[in-house]
Chain A
């Protein structure tokens, strides 16, 4: 509580060293409120509260946080501000001046608030609030048992995410990093009695740890080289290097500085599920759906993107860092898309789509489209959360059924209308249908990929992936939400089965609108049969909480598209998000930030060319194609203009394919025309369905050797270490045992011993004295 008081004092007190301007202090409320939520929910757990109180507490705290963030944003006037909390860690071991000298280590609990931070915190807190509300109903089955635990971890997660995003030094970022990892573990393993859930939680945590190693090393190297881990100091000190870079003098940059981003990106890959550390994310679907929505779609997995965006200046200093990031992201996107095409569990498909879209974001960062990447993060957060929440509603209503071969026509069932609409909007965004938010954000990245010289290959792969994305997204939609109504209950049928409902209705007239309008959902066709006599399963339509959240999210997703068109305050381009990004470190003195991210409406050919000419010399060598002074093109056209149409076409192709294969002519839930293709692509499809055996590869390469090693050590411990200890015990016993027969108890034995000893002694004396 004293910490809270300190923070409040810091907020209201005059500026400490001129660092607490108006408005930024409100951000202190975010960690304060979330911690308060943690404490209160823990108290609920201790007192075994049996109602939904923890949920309301969490929602309240999170709403408060969101309001604080929004207020700060409203009053924000650009630049970077530091909101100082309290002095957390300060080591000072030499008399050199504190700041700038290497003789001290300062890590304060302060927040670095700039526009990038606000961008992130807006959607983090907003989504957290909405999802908390959603979870209040979704987790209602567990009221009294795990409910409080869930919300404790939930609030703790938001707190950690706040530290991560807002921290002004890398140590606070690392704290938040580990915190979100911990909460992810706690929440994935929420159903701790399920072995698969526990295994998934462990897997997530361990893979994160592997990435964290890179991050930790990067932070250490940063301290070694720059003498501080505070962003302000680092950016200050990196200025000469950036100057050297913009003039193309990469040789003047020390190697250590170039190594830092390589290490940091390892951490980002671990947290954001890129190759090769992505395998935990699909398994993380074992957690409850709100968890999947918040953590593994919208917030935690974007932490890696945030890291790279925040330390973008450092990434620019290395010739290889950004290209590596780009290629890793691209390959991940493609691989995940192919796997997603062959899965049957809709949540898994969404998980793979998350991995894939994260790959897009990394690719965006790598091709110097930091704006595009940030925008994609922003929009993806909304529509992916919505997609997950819709799948969750389905799961919640159909007792855990997630197999798309066993569900069909859900959107037309009574009470499922809003879910259907939400799903539809989300799928449109994911597929990149024109004029959706997802369309614009993906488009920015694609355009940039073709513009930046040398990254055209990335662009083509990303384009192909976009088509695959559209296909598998609408595969889900066409199989599960439209078509003949059919359902089978899942494995979590409750004991109190609802009264029977005849569910096997084959309806011929079950075609429905798809595609055009956004108000397509209708509640028509209550086709269910009458009430049967038996205790059959009855789907549980979502309640008000779920429906309202989904509705809000739908609206927000649609509105997010508009952000593209808002002009930023500083007259830059890229929409509102662009404005947010440009005034942050993600665009820190980078000449490329203004390069090529032309808004669609503005002609940018001359600007693009001119600017490209201006700084083509400063591009990392991997970006060069030898075409000095000319940006990349897409088959001869200017990418920015053309990309709209190209991606729209690709998306449409994917949707059409899904329509043909999975909707048209489908009469049952289980089979569709796609199954007819199986003989042709069966092998590949099966392999894709088994996730390209990556997990098995890891198992053989990493896990099995470790098991062998641990068995070896176990043997060593048992034989050698324990053996030594046992020997230490054995020796006295053996010695005693060997001497014991001397104590025969018979008088003569002792006498013999005495006489013999005397004789021996005399012999020795004789030898000594007379020899």
Chain B
């Protein structure tokens, strides 16, 4: 409860009237920092490293900017920044594939679409206003209520996180590797077996470890799996001379993140993949169908509009 209270007090978010921005941002940042500090103090042996702080700060900061910037284009751009920071967080979490997938898909596709639409919508609407800002963009709606609600949410969720923090297993000490992880018992086997499904990969690993020379091959069973003995931690190898041998599993014998994710995706969630494909198809068709509906402007307005669109640069240039 005290954690809840501490968090609550710290997160006195200022008004998002979208005018006294800087002060608000500063206060918010301060509050966030205090929270994180509190977190750290709770588990002193697990201080996060600097990369976490950097990425986290950037992510949160640009997220704040997303919601507070009056111009929608800027909001979208800040969002892209947020995405990149999140990708960095993913990297810290050893999810490399996801990190880059995020950047490619999210930032590279979705947000570009957003930008297109923003420009499309803003173009035809905001010709009259000189500031180029819509009234609905400038002023926030019920900032106090929203802030209160948000703060409540934050407080409760953080409280959950704090409470639960002590019960969840701590971070994996990188130096000790996976052996000391309480969950690591089965994980190692799992990971090893994943690699086992890819004999060429196993060879690649062994070669990297220097245990395999050119011409050597790994013993492959009928279903294409490499012969890995988990109990004795050995791998069956066929030397170039045809001699079968068992070499020890080298340290760091881990699949890459992509492979793991791939295996998990296809082995454990095949149905979801299909459905995801269908969903994408539906979305595409839907978007096409929806945007086919044209609002019929009469000829005069069409001409006016096209003239306007064409004449703007000229006007701008003449003026």
The answer to whether A and B touch in the complex, with CB atoms under 8 Å apart, is yes
Chain A residues at the B interface, C-beta cutoff of 8 Å: 748, 752, 755-756, 758-760, 762-763, 765-766, 770-771
**Contacting residues, chain A, for B1 (C-beta < 8 A):** 770-771
A758 partner, pick from B153, B159, B163, beta carbons under 8 A: B153
Q: A748-B141, A748-B142 are in contact. Are A762 and B153 (CB under 8 A)?
A: yes
Of B144-152, B165-173, B205-213, B299-307, the one touching chain A: B144-152
**Apart from A752-B146, A762-B156, 10 more pairs, CB < 8 Å:** A748-B142, A755-B149, A755-B150, A759-B149, A759-B152, A759-B156, A765-B156, A766-B156, A766-B160, A770-B163
**Contacting residues, chain A, for B159 (C-beta < 8 A):** 766, 770
**Contacting residues, chain A, for B163 (C-beta < 8 A):** 770
Separation in Å of the B180 CB from the closest CB of chain A?
A: 30
In contact, B4 and A760 (Cβ under 8 angstroms): no
In contact, A752 and B156 (Cβ under 8 angstroms): no
**Contacting residues, chain B, for A759 (C-beta < 8 A):** 149, 152-153, 156
Q: A766-B4, A771-B1 are in contact. Are A752 and B145 (CB under 8 A)?
A: yes
Q: A770-B1, A771-B1 are in contact. Are A752 and B149 (CB under 8 A)?
A: yes
A760 to chain B: closest residue by CB:
B152
**Contacting residues, chain B, for A760 (C-beta < 8 A):** 152
B156 to chain A: closest residue by CB:
A762
22 intermolecular pairs with C-beta atoms under 8 Å apart:
A748-B141, A748-B142, A752-B142, A755-B149, A755-B153, A756-B145, A756-B149, A756-B152, A758-B153, A759-B149, A759-B153, A759-B156, A760-B152, A762-B152, A762-B153, A762-B160, A763-B152, A763-B156, A766-B4, A766-B156, A770-B163, A771-B1
User: How long is the Cα–Cα vector from A765 to B163 in the complex, in angstroms?
Assistant: 13
**Contacting residues, chain B, for A752 (C-beta < 8 A):** 142, 145-146, 149
Chain B residues at the A interface, C-beta cutoff of 8 Å: 1, 4, 141-142, 145-146, 149-150, 152-153, 156-157, 159-160, 163
A747 to chain B: closest residue by CB:
B141
User: How long is the Cα–Cα vector from A763 to B157 in the complex, in angstroms?
Assistant: 9
**Contacting residues, chain B, for A762 (C-beta < 8 A):** 152-153, 156-157, 160
**Contacting residues, chain A, for B146 (C-beta < 8 A):** 752
**Contacting residues, chain A, for B142 (C-beta < 8 A):** 748, 752
**Contacting residues, chain B, for A755 (C-beta < 8 A):** 149-150, 153
Separation in Å of the A755 CB from the closest CB of chain B?
A: 5
User: How long is the Cα–Cα vector from A752 to B143 in the complex, in angstroms?
Assistant: 11
B152 to chain A: closest residue by CB:
A759
Separation in Å of the B319 CB from the closest CB of chain A?
A: 39
B163 to chain A: closest residue by CB:
A770
User: How long is the Cα–Cα vector from A196 to B259 in the complex, in angstroms?
Assistant: 112
**Contacting residues, chain A, for B4 (C-beta < 8 A):** 766
Separation in Å of the B302 CB from the closest CB of chain A?
A: 32
A754 to chain B: closest residue by CB:
B149
A763 to chain B: closest residue by CB:
B156
**Contacting residues, chain B, for A765 (C-beta < 8 A):** 156
- Which one of B141, B149, B152, B163 has the greatest number of beta carbons of chain A within 10 Å? B149
User: How long is the Cα–Cα vector from A731 to B152 in the complex, in angstroms?
Assistant: 34
B145 to chain A: closest residue by CB:
A752
User: How long is the Cα–Cα vector from A170 to B88 in the complex, in angstroms?
Assistant: 110
Top 10 nearest A-B pairs by Cβ distance?
Answer: A759-B152, A762-B156, A759-B153, A756-B149, A755-B149, A766-B156, A748-B141, A759-B149, A763-B156, A766-B159
User: How long is the Cα–Cα vector from A763 to B152 in the complex, in angstroms?
Assistant: 8
- Which one of A758, A759, A762, A771 has the greatest number of beta carbons of chain B within 10 Å? A759
A759 to chain B: closest residue by CB:
B152
**Contacting residues, chain B, for A763 (C-beta < 8 A):** 152, 156
A756 to chain B: closest residue by CB:
B149
User: How long is the Cα–Cα vector from A752 to B157 in the complex, in angstroms?
Assistant: 17
User: How long is the Cα–Cα vector from A765 to B156 in the complex, in angstroms?
Assistant: 9
Separation in Å of the B156 CB from the closest CB of chain A?
A: 4
User: How long is the Cα–Cα vector from A759 to B146 in the complex, in angstroms?
Assistant: 11
User: How long is the Cα–Cα vector from A498 to B8 in the complex, in angstroms?
Assistant: 110
A767 to chain B: closest residue by CB:
B1
B153 to chain A: closest residue by CB:
A759
User: How long is the Cα–Cα vector from A771 to B163 in the complex, in angstroms?
Assistant: 12
User: How long is the Cα–Cα vector from A755 to B1 in the complex, in angstroms?
Assistant: 22
Separation in Å of the B107 CB from the closest CB of chain A?
A: 26
User: How long is the Cα–Cα vector from A766 to B8 in the complex, in angstroms?
Assistant: 14
Separation in Å of the B8 CB from the closest CB of chain A?
A: 11
User: How long is the Cα–Cα vector from A770 to B141 in the complex, in angstroms?
Assistant: 34
Separation in Å of the A84 CB from the closest CB of chain B?
A: 92
User: How long is the Cα–Cα vector from A755 to B153 in the complex, in angstroms?
Assistant: 8
Separation in Å of the B224 CB from the closest CB of chain A?
A: 49
B159 to chain A: closest residue by CB:
A766
Separation in Å of the A759 CB from the closest CB of chain B?
A: 4
**Contacting residues, chain A, for B141 (C-beta < 8 A):** 748
**Contacting residues, chain B, for A758 (C-beta < 8 A):** 153
A762 to chain B: closest residue by CB:
B156
**Contacting residues, chain A, for B145 (C-beta < 8 A):** 752, 756
Separation in Å of the A615 CB from the closest CB of chain B?
A: 105
User: How long is the Cα–Cα vector from A201 to B149 in the complex, in angstroms?
Assistant: 78
A764 to chain B: closest residue by CB:
B156
Separation in Å of the A542 CB from the closest CB of chain B?
A: 99
User: How long is the Cα–Cα vector from A770 to B145 in the complex, in angstroms?
Assistant: 26
User: How long is the Cα–Cα vector from A763 to B149 in the complex, in angstroms?
Assistant: 11
User: How long is the Cα–Cα vector from A213 to B153 in the complex, in angstroms?
Assistant: 78
User: How long is the Cα–Cα vector from A765 to B152 in the complex, in angstroms?
Assistant: 13
